[in-house]
Chains A and B, each alone.
Chain A
Amino acid sequence: MKKVLLGNEAIARGAYEAGCRVAAGYPGTPSTEILEAMAHSYPEVKSQWSCNEKVAFEVAAGAAIAGARSMTTMKHVGLNVAADPMFTFSYTGVTSGFVIINADDPGAWSSQNEQDNRHYARAAKLPMLEPSDPHEAYSFTKLAFDLSEQFDRPVIVRTTTRISHSQGVVDIGERKESELREFPINPQKYVMIPAHARPRHKFVEEQLEKMREYSYTSGINRIEKGKTKRGIITAGISYEYVKETCPDDNILKIGMMWPLPDKMIKEFASMNDELFVVEELDPFIEDYIKALGIKVIGKEIIPLCGELNSDIVDSALNGKKHSNSINPYAGTIPNRPPSLCKGCPHALVFNAIKKLNLIVNGDIGCYTLGVLPPYNAMHSQGCMGASVSMHLGFEKAWGNALARKSVAVIGDSTFIHSGITGLIDIVYNGGTGTVIILDNRTTGMTGHQENPSTGKTLLGDPSPELNFEALCLACGVKRVVTVDPIEKENLERVLAEETAAEEPSVIIVKRKCILKK
């Protein structure tokens, strides 16, 4: 049956049909809707938001090793957090199918960087499939479960923003229940002490070669013959731009990004007089081809930074510039940067911080918008949880006096994700700084996901509410205050008092997100 689905909904559908039993992830644009769709439409799958990507990865890996088909979902920077388990569960392999959905964000539409996670497949020696449209997002996810079992490998499916957040026609099928396989008692496979890891490393390399062989004959990579002697090697969303702009050229479409198909690449190169690679971000395919000793043009003409589109590809490959004959508007068009919503509780906090002229170590969430006017109240920010630990670093660099005029600012979900370890570090290592937990009762930026402090799970079931006060006290912080930001004077007073105190403190600013019903 044909349906219009968002790339992320198509991934959920593919996993569902493949008999996926457990799915765990952490919200992050552009990956979030996969588990939301799963929870909403497919109750047969035990879906959950975990505290962070590492935990989600391990929950899903655990389920797969225990014998259930499982999936984990995250955005590109989330895989950094989950990289530790990924590298070693590559060695153990699986009992039942295990699929890792990784969503990259070229263009950094809603991310702190544009990292190209294809490198992870190579580094962790894991197979990676890369769909080009929502239908392939569906069919590749489904296939990934079979490949995972056939080759005893976790399989990564890599999407990008324009796959995850584009809609297209998907020809869906029915769910096929998967068997719950018995967990084999096999420490040589599942306990990675050095003596077990060394032989597993050999196994990993052998399996990759077997998958390379598979990629030649399975149709996952394909050569589309055109009418010219120009060959273009491409994958993912870039394939669509190539098809749009170079319909007469020969195309090698890579569906399995790792391991890459040496033989097919050589065969394709010999068919053509000139060879190009069109890929977003890094020259991943290009460098590989060059290492095979084949002459190819790639990043000389295709940008290294930002997203591609058919305008860019048409200009680079065909020298064509698209435009219309309408006179452009001559005046200044004011830009429309994202901003905190009207009535957002975070805004009240940034106003108070600004009044006290504090240095702010910030974090990842809606409140990162505190960096923009009119607040201009954020001075460092890098990754989930960094505000708290960097805050200690600032103090270590400049001494306690700096802690008197600075704060760390972090949201509820981000604090649970990886702020808590930083707080323990502050207490343990003699820090005296103030951490503000912006508790707006939801995971805001990604669109209101539940988390351990909201009292609900992804499926809407009740769960115990994480108690931030008790948690911070248990970490050894003696000064823990909860305030409502609409009591402005109180907020300012508490902020002044706590930053002045010569010991670590936590201010929990509690008020529901204005968009939350």
Chain B
Amino acid sequence: MEKNIIFCGVGGQGVILASKVLMETALRAGYDVKESEVHGMAQRGGSVECCVRFGTKIYSPLIAKGKADYVVSLELLESLRKIEFLSDEGTMIVNDFKIDPVPVQQGVLEYPQDIKDYLNANVNNLLIAETESVLKEIGSQKALNIVMLGILSNYLEFSEKEWLESVKVCVKEKFVEMNIKAFLAGRSLKK
């Protein structure tokens, strides 16, 4: 058994924390786990990704093209960069939210307007998540990463209790309550 998950987004959106909670959950369930992340210059407003793999025995911390079971994109445009990693049976979960890259802010390039049309037409298992109202309710944009993890949790084998245990372990104490709320809100967004 082996599951491959890519979290992607823009520097500062918190993809590392989301993958940390997933890894902790998989470890507690007795799986081998590997993950790869990006730090330093690439993080400064650039595209970021975390690859998480868990299973009986995992070697590479990176996911090969066409092998991702899930791609969870915290931003619309970023989903396009990872499409080649999704397996044919794989599921893509995309946050319906745009962050303009610098070349778009400068008017050099245009932000593609047809991303959702393209995804709907080409990705068999697709969930475009409307998280704005949920985040408003939680009262923090920063909880987006855990909301998206909550959505993903519906597709994986672990119980709600197991997930929440990991949230408690991985998140700073003063943010635990907010993140539990975020996780449950994400989890209740329909599969």
| Residues of chain A at the chain B interface (Cβ within 8 Å) | 2-4, 29-30, 32-33, 109-110, 133, 162, 165-169, 237, 240-241, 243-244, 309-311, 314, 322-329, 331-341, 366, 368-369, 372-374, 445-447
Known contacts A324-B66, A335-B101; can you find 14 more A-B pairs with CB under 8 A?
A133-B34, A165-B38, A165-B39, A166-B34, A167-B61, A169-B32, A241-B62, A326-B86, A329-B83, A332-B109, A333-B77, A337-B46, A339-B45, A366-B44
**CB 8 Å contact bits of B28-47 with A (1 = contact, 0 = none):** 00001111111111111111
Which residues of the other chain, A, contact B59 by a CB distance below 8 angstroms?
240-241, 243-244
A421 to B138, CA, bound (A): 52
Q: Across the interface, do B44 and A338 meet the contact criterion of CB distance under 8 Å?
A: yes
Q: Across the interface, do A323 and B46 meet the contact criterion of CB distance under 8 Å?
A: no
Q: CB-nearest residue of chain A relative to B101?
A: A336
Which residues of the other chain, A, contact B27 by a CB distance below 8 angstroms?
2-4, 169
Q: Across the interface, do A331 and B60 meet the contact criterion of CB distance under 8 Å?
A: no
Question: Given A29-B39, A109-B42, A169-B27, A333–B67 Cβ distance below 8 Å?
Answer: no
Which of B40, B47, B108 has a CB less than 8 Å from the CB of A373?
B108
Which residues of the other chain, A, contact B88 by a CB distance below 8 angstroms?
324-326
Q: CB-nearest residue of chain B relative to A75?
A: B40
A331 to B115, CA, bound (A): 9
Chain B 49-86 residues near chain A, CB threshold 8 A: 58-62, 64-67, 77-78, 80-81, 83-84, 86
Q: CB-nearest residue of chain A relative to B113?
A: A331
Q: Which of A33, A336, A447 has the most CB of B within 10 A?
A: A336
- Mind listing 18 A-B residue pairs with CB under 8 Å? A3-B27, A4-B33, A29-B41, A33-B39, A166-B35, A166-B61, A167-B36, A167-B61, A168-B35, A169-B33, A240-B60, A243-B60, A329-B112, A333-B81, A334-B103, A336-B78, A338-B46, A339-B44
Question: Given A244-B60, A339-B45, A322–B37 Cβ distance below 8 Å?
Answer: no
A188 to B118, CA, bound (A): 73
Which residues of the other chain, B, contact A169 by a CB distance below 8 angstroms?
27, 32-33
A237 to B60, CA, bound (A): 8
Q: Across the interface, do A338 and B43 meet the contact criterion of CB distance under 8 Å?
A: yes
Which residues of the other chain, A, contact B122 by a CB distance below 8 angstroms?
326-327
Which of B33, B64, B108 has a CB less than 8 Å from the CB of A322?
B64
CB distance from B173 to the nearest CB of A (A): 15
Q: CB-nearest residue of chain A relative to B23?
A: A4
CB distance from B64 to the nearest CB of A (A): 5
Which residues of the other chain, B, contact A445 by a CB distance below 8 angstroms?
40-41, 44
Question: Given A165-B38, A309-B62, A447-B39, A369–B44 Cβ distance below 8 Å?
Answer: yes
A109 to B58, CA, bound (A): 24
Which residues of the other chain, B, contact A368 by a CB distance below 8 angstroms?
41
Q: CB-nearest residue of chain A relative to B65?
A: A322
**CB 8 Å contact bits of B152-180 with A (1 = contact, 0 = none):** 00000000000000000000000000000
A29 to B39, CA, bound (A): 7
CB distance from A411 to the nearest CB of B (A): 13
Q: Across the interface, do A334 and B37 meet the contact criterion of CB distance under 8 Å?
A: no
CB distance from B86 to the nearest CB of A (A): 6
